[in-house]
Amino acid sequence: MMHLKETELCLGLPGGGGHNQEEPLKITGKRGFSETTHLKLNFVQPNESSSSSSDVSKDTTTTLYVKSPPAKAQVVGWPPVRNHRKNVIGGKRKTEEARLVKVSMDGAPYLRKVDLKMYKSYQQLSDALANMFCSFTTGNDGRQGMMTELMKESRLMDLLNSSEYVPSYEDKDGDWMLVGDVPWQMFVDSCKRLRIMKGSDAIGLAPRAMEKCRNS
Amino acid sequence: MSEDDGGCGGAGKSRNSGEYFTPYPDQVLENVLENVLVFLKSRRDRNAVSLVCKSWYRAEAYTRSDLFIGNCYAVAPRRVTDRFKRVRSVSVKGKPRFADFSLLPPDWGAHFRPWVSAMATAYRALEKIYLKRMSITDDDLAVIAHSFPNFKELVLVCCEDFGTSGLAVVVSECRSLRVLELIEDDVSDDEVDWISCFPPEGTTNLESLSFDCVESPINFEALERLVARSPLLKKLRLNRHVSIGQLQRLIFRSPQLTHLGTGSFAPLEIAGQQQVDNREPDYGSAFAACRSIVCLSGFREISPEHLPAIFPVSANLTSLNLSYANIDADQLRPVIRHCHKLQVFWALDSICDEGLQMVADSCKDLRELRIFPIDGSENIEGPVSEVGLLAISIGCRKLQSVLYFCQQMTNAAVIAMSKNCPDLVVFRLCIIDRYRPDHVTGEPMDEGFGAIVKNCKKLTRLAVSGLLTDRAFSYIGQYGKLVRTLSVAFNGESDIGLKYILEGCTNLQKLEIRDSPFGDSALWSGLHHFYNMRFVWMSSCRVTRQGCTNVARQLPRLVVEVFRGDGVEGGERGDFMDTLYMYRSLDGPRTDAPQFVKIL
């Protein structure tokens, strides 16, 4: 763990700024604390009033808090959860973390959350979503199969102009896509949020989806 | 009481023939004292008694039956067995707690071997052993099995270096075994069917059997037979290799159970596929037959749709541990709203603030709450927050112990908890996103923790997190007079913080600090107090080799260990000691330290 220095992310300042040349300065990991404060002060100094306020707290005595970039290097033993508990949570999914995404449905009063890792196919996901939101669809016959039908690629275009519900998702690039376009695992990896929208609102989605697939 | 040696060593041996035996006066008093002292159980009271005078010291030593060793290196086994002669129960604690988080390299120590060797000859009547964070081998288990004919209870918590072969020896040879509890141990799978090694005939004396941490499969038929002939069994905690169908069979065999760890709580997998059984048995009927269950845990691989099976017992529950169950608020609701007697609740943060509100609404008698994180990443949107903590504080006024993992928190919520729950004894808040201030005001979390130490007058254990300045530590030093255990991680501003702690917290026993800017001058300010403490741990702080050496020289009975958390020899990382671990000892530095540990 301690030998992954090269792969760890850090705030690299030109010319360093810390005392040690042997290791790159980084916010995470076992560094003496003053190295990091020194680093932050250097960072802010050139432009005190700069709007890096989103990154650095306004504490006037010391700039202690730096909101870390999303892919922070792993710190040993943090958070303080016993290894035993870490290994066992999720049972079969020992080395994977939950993929919780929010699900909203147009017209429904509140959000739900699903863990995408609980499902192995679009079929399973659609069943779960149907169960979740069953009280909010306007009495459609054959509602059970509705979601499944929607997710079959061949029917997607047909439904876009209807008032039926269409499941869409926001991917990691921030684009809204139609659910069902990509292989299941790719969907799980890239889905950040789900939204079940009215079909008529989803018209603009399809062309982008196809374009993305061509480009990726 | 006189210190005269008139009665010293006097066993009333001088007897004139033909006369009645008249023991020396001190001997009478000693006998009386012994008869009184057998009723004294508290070790703190006993320690006080032993300090009165030599006679009382002897009487106390003669009558102490429960031994508690808080740090296995604080005293040598021989010294203990020389002083206390009639011990029936021994508790020994070994490694410092940060070992749980991979901060202590393997093979650091805490071996049970020297203890069991000394006790094998000295304490033939030993009945109970309780170990926490010790290294115990199969050979040690064999010594236990062979040396103590009346052995009744073995409880191992967070221990390692043994396996199912050692368990087999214990269960086959300890004929009076009542209690075997394995809690969060690392048990190696030697592919030994230890469950079958219980004596095959007749009823057992088993009252408690816990093996939920044993990762190897067990012989279910043997377990079922064992449970069927254990009429006294009250506590049974299964591992995740027991399916819900098997659980049901066991419960039917043992309706007198009070404490149940449910194992996987999922159906058996056949050939890698989920068994889809349209006529699933009614698992609820098994629980309905167990009217005495008050404590439920397990749920290792729960299929949430099976959770309703526990409805029949939920109204009786005083303790519910769902901390391995990834369930949401909707799945929790039907269970928790019946749990009016619940005093202990452990769960994952998957239940969200919404779930915590439900707990607050239903569990008015709650004493202990622990919320663990599913996802330990930082800088994500967490499912629980100050909203949940506030709800709990409003609904559960009798709360005594809190462990709460979250991504964000506010001072206001912590202050509210300090006022709403004045009985708090343990407050451990872990804001996973390090250095995070109050996310609403942007202020450090000083005022929140300050309110906790100020308003919770019974507080003995505190763990802090988030962005903290020296002020937070000044509050803790000023108001935390009863605090015995303090955990600090990625906090603090300067040496003054630690000085406040060491000078202010007069009852501090256990101090564990990591990644905080405390250095030599702060360490020096604790000299007056280190002999009163069980240990001090400082890793990735700013103490130097010289600073640690100075302390070691000033305090000859303090064992000052330095090492690197990655096990590389040397101890330093950059300019500072990587890890400092120090503790008092009556018998000098230990002789079993590995290469990477340097004792200054």
DSSP A62-122: ----BPPPSSPPPPTT-S---HHHHHHTTTT-TT----EEEEEETT-SS-EEEEGGG-SSH
Question: Residue B287 in contact with residue B250, Cβ under 8 Å?
Answer: no
Give first-to-last CA distance, chain B, whole Å: 43
Q: Which domain holds residue A178?
A: 100-138+150-198
Render pLDDT for B489-504 as a digit per residue (tens, 0 to 9).
Answer: 999 999 999 999 999 9
Phi then psi for residue A81, to 5 deg, are: -115, 135
A56-67 average pLDDT score: 40
Residue A118 lies in a domain: yes
Residue A111 lies in a domain: yes
- pLDDT computed for residue A150 by the predictor: 47
Give first-to-last CA distance, chain A, whole Å: 33
Statement: residue B211 has pLDDT above 80? yes
**What's the gap between Cα B228 and its chain centre?**
31
Question: Given CA atoms B488, B493, B499, B504 in this order, what sign does their dihedral have?
Answer: negative
Phi-psi region of B316 (alpha: psi -120 to 50; beta: other; left: phi over 0): alpha
Q: Cα separations (Å) of A103 from A117, A191, B30, B382?
A: 15, 11, 75, 16
Structure tokens at B591: 């002789």
- pLDDT computed for residue A85 by the predictor: 80
Q: Cβ B435–A66 below 8 Å, yes or no?
A: yes
Residue A92 lies in a domain: no
- pLDDT computed for residue A21 by the predictor: 39
Residues across chain A: 216
Q: Which helix (H) or strand (E) holds B361?
A: helix B352-362
Query: A141: buried, middle or exposed (CB in 10 Å: 19+, 13-18, 0-12)?
Result: exposed
Q: Which of B103, B517, B574 lies closest to A76 in CB terms? A: B103
Question: Residue B347 in contact with residue B371, Cβ under 8 Å?
Answer: yes
Task: Give me chain B's average pLDDT, please.
Answer: 91
Q: Cβ B469–A61 below 8 Å, yes or no?
A: yes
Query: B521: buried, middle or exposed (CB in 10 Å: 19+, 13-18, 0-12)?
Result: middle
Lowest mean pLDDT among A8-12, B24-28, B407-411: A8-12
A43-69 average pLDDT score: 37
- pLDDT computed for residue B15 by the predictor: 45
Lowest mean pLDDT among A133-137, A153-157, B443-447: A153-157
Render pLDDT for A73-110 as a digit per residue (tens, 0 to 9).
Answer: 568 899 999 877 876 554 444 344 567 788 887 776 66
Statement: residue B197 has pLDDT above 60? yes
Question: Residue B189 in contact with residue B163, Cβ under 8 Å?
Answer: yes
Residue A116 or B333, more confident: B333
Residue A151 or B29, more confident: B29
Q: Which of A22, A61, A88 lies closest to B324 in CB terms? A: A88
Give the pLDDT band (50/70/90) at residue B90: very high
Residues on chain B touching A82 (C-beta within 8 angstroms): 100-101, 158, 184
Task: Give me chain A's average pLDDT, please.
Answer: 58
Residue A157 lies in a domain: yes
Q: Which of B98, B300, B515 lies closest to A30 in CB terms? A: B515
Task: Compute the distance between CA of residue B185 and CA of residue B261 in angstroms, rounded to an integer.
Answer: 16
- Total tally of structural domains belonging to chain A: 1
Render pLDDT for B441-457 as a digit per residue (tens, 0 to 9).
Answer: 999 999 999 999 999 99
Give the pLDDT band (50/70/90) at residue A206: low
Residue A38 lies in a domain: no
Residue A113's CATH number: 3.10.20.90
Residue A54 lies in a domain: no
Residue A27 lies in a domain: no
Query: B70: buried, middle or exposed (CB in 10 Å: 19+, 13-18, 0-12)?
Result: middle
Render pLDDT for B373-402 as a digit per residue (tens, 0 to 9).
Answer: 998 887 778 899 999 999 999 999 999 999
Statement: residue B1 has pLDDT above 60? no
Structure tokens at B82: 């020389």
Task: Compute the distance between CA of residue B261 and CA of residue B238 in angstroms, rounded to an integer.
Answer: 5
- pLDDT computed for residue B340 by the predictor: 96
Phi then psi for residue B296, to 5 deg, are: -120, 140
Residue the block writes with tokens 């501090």: B508
Total CB pairs under 8 A between chain A and B: 141
Is the pTM value of this prediction over 0.90?
no
Residues on chain B touching A30 (C-beta within 8 angstroms): 515, 539-540, 565, 573, 578
Task: Compute the distance between CA of residue A3 and CA of residue A10 in angstroms, rounded to an integer.
Answer: 15
Residues on chain A touching B328 (C-beta within 8 angstroms): 113
Give the pLDDT band (50/70/90) at residue B23: low
Residue A95 lies in a domain: no
Whether chain A has a CB inside 8 Å of the CB on B574: the answer is yes
Task: Compute the distance between CA of residue B142 and CA of residue B124 in angstroms, rounded to an integer.
Answer: 15
Statement: residue B473 has pLDDT above 70? yes
Q: Cα separations (Å) of B428 from B210, B485, B504?
A: 27, 11, 20
Percent of the residues in chain A that have a pLDDT greater than 70, as a whole number: 34
A residues 153-182 lying closer than 8 A (beta carbon) to B: none
Task: Compute the distance between CA of residue B513 and CA of residue B476 in angstroms, rounded to an integer.
Answer: 15
**List of residues 6+ apart from B318 with CB closer than 8 A:** B294, B295, B341, B342, B343, B344
- pLDDT computed for residue B461 by the predictor: 98
B156-162 average pLDDT score: 95
Lowest mean pLDDT among A44-48, B245-249, B353-357: A44-48
Question: Given CA atoms A175, A181, A186, A189 in this order, what sign does their dihedral have?
Answer: positive
Q: Cα separations (Å) of B377 from A77, A95, A97, B549?
A: 12, 14, 10, 37
Q: Cβ B350–A98 below 8 Å, yes or no?
A: yes
Statement: residue B279 has pLDDT above 80? no
Q: Which of A77, A81, A83 lies closest to B372 in CB terms? A: A81
